[in-house]
Structure 1
Amino acid sequence: MSAVTQPLVPVLALILAGFLLQRTNFLAPAFWPSAEKLTYFLLMPAMLIHNLAGKKIGDLPWLKILVTVEGGILLSAVLVLLWWASNRDLDGPAFTSLFQGGVRFNTFVALALAENLYGADGLFVAALGAGFMILLINVLCVTAFSLTVTGGARPTPGKIALDLLRNPLIIGCAVGVGLNATGLKLPVALDGILSLSGRAAFPLGLLAVGAAYRAGNLVQHRKTLVVSSVIQFVIKPAAAWWLATVLGLTGMAVCVAILLFSVPTAPTAYILSRQMGGDHESMASIITVQTCLSFLTLPVTLWLMQGLPHG
């Protein structure tokens, strides 16, 4: 199981480091908001452009992969909305944490696992699926914030469109996908700058998550923790398997699709929550708890996947 747990260790280690740095006041309190802003507006978009611009689809069953991952994301979003409709005691900011906790996925963990388990081919398929997912997820999440975190003002289509158009994560996805579709290549120097900048996105984001984490919040946010985790670790992997089977995906592509839907939610969710007025404390708790839970759920998921033909 070392291939399963190994990619999770640095994630938890950085969250713990951020928690300790904040608690010991090793860094000035003003550092953390600045770190969040830098990650959100610069480092994450750089990482998205670099990762999405250079992928080559080739002979992969990209349409089946596309429908599988997008269908799974839309299903999880609908389930969160249906649950919220029957539990309206949850306010808008708390709902956005539930939404992101049930819809987003940790790209770092998913890609690292795919490479460890299935080699370069697995990494390529996972990167393709992740590229399809990232833009839709960010559109859905930004729309959820625009509709529910309004400060008392009724959201308008213009406001929602403006939030989408100026969101740096969506801009990063759009630029990366656009470069890929047109076949344009980034200059080597610029691509190197984006690659180097993007490498700092996850470490800095995870440190910020740890700095915001409060153990006492677990009981307070237990409802969103339980619901988002059930969707993330039970419903989404099952939905990915069902969609992949119905669409006729075979071999390693099925396993990678399930893997993309079996990892914890993304640290990016916390950055977005801070920047768009969500319940960031609830979001930090969900990210940390789901990352811890994945040490138990991922080995179980992979054990169940052993019965699938890898082709």
Structure 2
Amino acid sequence: MAVIVNALTPVLALILLGFLLRRTEFIPSSFWPSAEKLTYYLLMPATLIHSLAGKEIGSSPWLNILLTVGGAIFASVLFVILGWLMRRQMGGAAFTSLFQGGVRFNTFVALALAENLFGKEGLFLASLGAGFMILIINVLCVSAFSVAVGDGVCDLKKVGRDLLRNPLIWGCALGIGINAAGVKLPSAIDGSLTLLGKAAFPVGLMAVGAAYRPGNIARHWQPLLTSCGIQFVCKPVIAWYLAAATGLSGVAAGVAVLLFSVPTAPTAYILSRQMGGDHDSMAVIITVQTCLSFFTLPLTLWLLR
């Protein structure tokens, strides 16, 4: 339990700090849109390039991990669509919050727990799985925004344009390209990316807190309830099943389930703001899921053991 508290407390603390800074007007309101833009176009891509370029796959069971995380992600997309079909009155912008709330994962929490629970081997395998997930999830989320926030029609040209213009996709592509080419980043460049990436997490979380309104929970209960069910019940079960089906065992299986048991990513709020989603409901989903995971993660870990 202490491991979970240690991993989640910084997340909640930064959300609370952003909430207090906005309510006390210690920082002008005009700061937050600029901070969100900086995070979206510079800090987050730097994080993706650094994390994906530095992974050495080697002799790890990378194919089994890819099959497990890929299968679980697409299964979660199906659950999101089913949840939306049961509540068709939900608008396109609200659907994007449901989508991100049910598909994304908090990389920081997942990696922190993996290292504390499974040591260096767990951290490496979690980083490898997270690298696969980051690319797949960003492509899916940008595609969902392109369709849902527009006229609801799947215009392949529009989706393609949005993918090509998205800085997160570019970050993933550059990171994977550098990795595949076997290029080692110079220390100066790698160090710069590391520093930029470290800024993405606190700035993004404080932006979530600044946007959070306690009264929005009742207003956005439908995407909140559905996304929590998918995130904390459906995804861990599917990940456990696929891990067993693909032959993962031991630490690798535990890490695979762990990746799909954590709350959604704070970066979902930044993407929602920049692509025209329902950022109010996204802030609610991020905050509530983070709070709930204090209770759901111990249960998941107990079942794993």
CA distance in 2, matches of 1:207, 1:4: 21
Residues 158-169 of structure 1 mapped to structure 2, 5 A cutoff:
158-169=157-168
Verify: 1:294 aligned to 2:300, yes or no.
no
Q: How does 1:1-311 map to 2 (within 5 A)?
A: 1-150=1-150, 152=151, 154=153, 156-306=155-305
Between the aligned partners of 1:292 and 1:111, the Cα distance in structure 2 is 18
Per-residue Cα deviation, 1:16-37 (whole angstroms, up to 9, x for no partner): 0000000000001000000000
Residues 265-285 of structure 1 deviation map (CA, whole Å, 9 limit, x = unaligned): 000100000000000000000
Aligned-residue RMSD, C-alpha = 0.9
Deviation at 1:13, TM superposition (A): 0.1
| Number of residues of Structure 1 aligned to a counterpart in Structure 2 | 305
SS in 2 for 1:87: coil
In 2, the alpha carbon distance for the partners of 1:139 and 1:47 equals 16
Q: The residue matched to 1:97 in structure 2 has which SS?
A: helix
What code does the residue aligned with 1:230 have?
Answer: G
Cα offset for 1:153? 8.1
Separation in structure 1 between the aligned mates of residue 82 and residue 6 of structure 2, nearest angstrom = 35
The residue type equivalent to 2:99 in the other structure is F
- The whole-number CA distance in structure 1 between the counterparts of 2:39 and 2:103 is 21
Q: Which amino acid aligns with 1:294?
A: S
**Which amino acid counterpart does residue 43 of structure 1 have in structure 2?**
L
Give the gaps of 5 or more residues in structure 1: 307-311
Question: What CA distance in whole angstroms lies between the structure 1 residues aligned with 2:75 and 2:2?
Answer: 31
Q: Distance in 1 between matches of 2:4 and 2:213?
A: 27
**Alpha-carbon distance, 1:49 to partner:** 0.4
User: Which residue of the partner structure matches residue 309 of structure 1?
Assistant: none
Q: Write out per-residue CA displacement over residues 35-85 of structure 1, whole angstroms, 9 at most, x where no aligned residue.
A: 000000000000110111011111111100000001000000011112212
The residue type equivalent to 1:131 in the other structure is G
**Cα displacement (A) at 1:135:** 0.6
Q: Output one character per residue of 1:95-128: Cα deviation in whole Å (capped at 9) or x when no partner.
A: 0000000000000000011011111111000000
SS at match of 1:7: helix
Question: Deviation at 1:154?
Answer: 4.9
Residue deviations 1:123-143 (CA, integer Å, cap 9, x gap): 000000000000110011000
SS at match of 1:28: coil
Could you tell me which amino acid in structure 1 is paired with residue 63 of structure 2? Answer: L
Q: 1:183, CA displacement in angstroms? A: 0.3
Deviation above 3 Å: which 4+ runs of structure 1?
152-155
Q: CA deviation at 1:155?
A: 5.2
Q: Please state whether the residue corresponding to 2:29 is helix, strand or coil.
A: coil
Cα distance in 1 for residues equivalent to 2:39 and 2:263 = 20
Distance 1:248 1:58 in 2: 18
Contact 2:92 2:152 (C-alpha < 8 Å) held by counterparts: no
Q: Please report the TM-score for the alignment, with normalisation by the length of structure 1.
A: 0.97
Amino acid at match of 1:114: A
Shift of 1:188: 1.3
Matched residue SS, 1:126: helix
Q: CA deviation at 1:86?
A: 3.2
For 2:273, give the aligned amino acid. Answer: R
